[in-house]
Structure 1
Amino acid sequence: MPGEPQLYGLPAGEARKRVGDLRQLARIDEVSETQGPARGARRITLHSGGGLSVDLLPDRALDIGAVSYRGVPIAWHSPTGFVAPALAVNAGTEWLRSFGGGLLATCGLDAYGPASRDDGVDYPMHGRVGTVPAHVTRAQVTDEALVVEGEVRQATVFGENLLLRRRITVPLGSGTILVDDTVTNESSADAGHMVLYHANIGWPLLDEGATLRIPSHAVSPRDAAAEQGMADWFDLQPPTPGYAEQVFKHDFSGGGLAEVSVDNPAQDTRLALRFDTEGLPALHQWKMLGDGHYVLGLEPTNVDWSRGRAAAAAENALPRIAPGTSVSYHLEFHLSGSRSTTPGTEGSSQ
């Protein structure tokens, strides 16, 4: 984070002279939910001092819930809300009954995609980690950033023991969220490892006047429904009754730090998602433009796979982590004013 952070047009040091407490400008709030299906769950809210507000969900793998930038909501929220983990069921497709959306829902750590059964073990849709509470080890405002760290362990007797260490950093005065994850296999056997970062963009950032840019090497449809939409995979239509979801798979392998974006000139708001393609060589685009379910998923993943854990294992496509070793992932969410001059165009290098 080069240079002194800026707070409302002034260097942070100068801004501090004008307040009695930095919390007037930037702070971390910790609360517990009191109503509905979220009752009892923790929520940590970060205010950057630069127009960015971020809700973290410690009881859902320290994922990211509601986000706003200069008053504009960024993330889609599902009808279920952010359900407390005690009400979540890890079986079959029950994930859909507690998937609240939000800017980041982590899927994994040993499976994602459709539910399947592999070697006598049932793997629910999109895995189990998203309903595992985190042990929060740090929540601190420094001279440069707001930092929250935590540990999330997905484990069972006679099975996997995967530890996710997560650090979320919001530079002071910025519109940026940095996510750094390390997954360690703490069992005595190799562990299958699949992870997908389910980032969910909603209205008003997402609308028919916004520009979607995914400069991948190649794009392919997940299934027959997506094949029908290949000609306009990048087009962001208004909500459509009866819309059938489409998923497109984008190859980013060997591309260094990749960037995809949604730019809305009408809202003067742009979201850029950057991710390290060394660990996350693919991105799945979830296009779901129905009434109420009006959402664009931008989903970096460690394996370009969409048919579940069992099929990945059967076809030798399942990544594995050796005992005692780790893999790391890095994502960045950058919110800023719009840069778009031609709404409705796309910029894929396919």
Structure 2
Amino acid sequence: MNYYGMNLSRKEIEEKAPDIRQIGGTRAYELCEGATRGTRVIDVNAGELRYSVVVDRGMDISLANYKGINLTHLTENGEVHPSFYESRGREWARIFFGGLLTTCGLTYLGPPGMDQGEDLGLHGRYSAIPARRVNDFSGWKGDEYEICLEGQVDESVQMGAKIRLNRKITSRVGVPKICIHDKVVNTGTKNTPFTILYHINFGFPLLDNGARILIQNYKIEPFDEHSKEQMDERLYIDDPSSGFQEVNYLYYAKADNNGDSFAMIMNDSLLSGLAVYIKTSAETLPFFCEWKLLEKRDYVLAIEPSNVVCENRKVLRQKGILPLLRPGEIREMDIEIGVVEGKEAIKIMEEKIKEA
């Protein structure tokens, strides 16, 4: 194990640390204040990288930091208990905690609106569904300690769509990355829509004036006229301002020779240079959405891998691009979120993305 620059064997660690939680591992608890009361969370300590898995919010990830430096955006809502969820219109925003990951879906996402008589709210129900059958399979693999959390999230309705997501989150102590494997299956008897978007959010101080964005793509489309006017500035971050109007862009993911596609945010002013990358499969998640909101107090950038354009389900259906799962059909997605430290290491990663 490479732990803060020390190469240690399992034997060496166990001779000095009787409980692995001295240097890494997990801790489960419940939040106790305000609207977060009763929300189950599992903190993950992977050494330099630490993050919180919110069990009662679909095993999404809220806080995350590297060497004590915050990476993500946390709204004033906090990790609201799912019992406060309201499904209509934009009420979803009242329980949106941001965090390193908020999953949107599973049968609809994007703006609110009607589809076949169903009133669909913003970004779907997934993030308000508690996970069940949650297990911690963390343990030694040779001289590496692997943290492994698994759980099941069911979005189902009587006489309607029944879709299940099995999530596996893994990290290794001393390795600053998170691997998320999602396996989705239609457990019902009819075809069901399947839309998923990984709302990956970055905040201060990683997000700050001078930070840069890079997204591997072969085509870019602005979502509206205002975003189109700001195209030249889409990859740059400024200080927050009052009255900033959000911008949104759709990137068609370009695959490298391994079929992977990357996005990255870089801040040369933190440490000796700090960046966070996202790696996905361009086959299973062929799009990245960029959502940039540089408003005072609402200061956030989201890079969002997805399996479909971020539109209301009715629009997707009308355009003939609504993904469907047949009964028993399975789809699997992999997301890797990793930290890169040092200007030279960032430069190598940046060139790799540009050359793909």
Superposed, 1:1-350 pairs within 5 Å as 5-8=1-4, 9-13=6-10, 14-48=12-46, 50-143=47-140, 144-252=145-253, 254-255=255-256, 256-268=259-271, 269-303=274-308, 305-339=309-343
Separation (CA, whole Å) in 2 of partners of 1:247 and 1:349:
25
Unpaired segments ≥5 residues, structure 1: none
8 Å CA contact 2:210–2:236 kept in 1: the answer is no
8 Å CA contact 1:7–1:15 kept in 2: the answer is no
Separation (CA, whole Å) in 2 of partners of 1:278 and 1:307:
20
For the residue of structure 1 that corresponds to 2:232, the secondary structure is helix
CA shift for structure 1 position 41 = 0.6
CA shift for structure 1 position 254 = 4.7
Unpaired segments ≥5 residues, structure 2: none
Separation (CA, whole Å) in 1 of partners of 2:134 and 2:94:
29
For the residue of structure 2 that corresponds to 1:231, the secondary structure is helix
> Structure 1 residues 348 and 125, CA, compared in 2 at 3 Å: closer, same or farther?
farther
Deviations 1:54-107 (A, max 9, x none): 100011000000001100001101122111001111111101111010000000
8 Å CA contact 2:254–2:261 kept in 1: the answer is no
More helix by share: 2
RMSD: 1.8
Separation (CA, whole Å) in 1 of partners of 2:328 and 2:126:
19
8 Å CA contact 1:58–1:133 kept in 2: the answer is yes
Separation (CA, whole Å) in 1 of partners of 2:25 and 2:100:
20
CA shift for structure 1 position 265 = 2.0
TM-score, normalised via structure 2 length: 0.92
Separation (CA, whole Å) in 2 of partners of 1:177 and 1:12:
22
CA shift for structure 1 position 266 = 1.4
8 Å CA contact 1:58–1:136 kept in 2: the answer is no
Identity percentage over the alignment?
A: 28
Separation (CA, whole Å) in 2 of partners of 1:51 and 1:247:
32
Separation (CA, whole Å) in 1 of partners of 2:202 and 2:208:
10
TM-score, normalised via structure 1 length: 0.94
Separation (CA, whole Å) in 2 of partners of 1:270 and 1:191:
38
Deviations 1:133-158 (A, max 9, x none): 00143113211310100000000011
8 Å CA contact 1:286–1:296 kept in 2: the answer is yes
For the residue of structure 2 that corresponds to 1:310, the secondary structure is helix
Deviations 1:191-250 (A, max 9, x none): 111110000000100111222111211211011121111111111111121100000110
Separation (CA, whole Å) in 1 of partners of 2:269 and 2:32:
36
Report the number of matched residues: 342
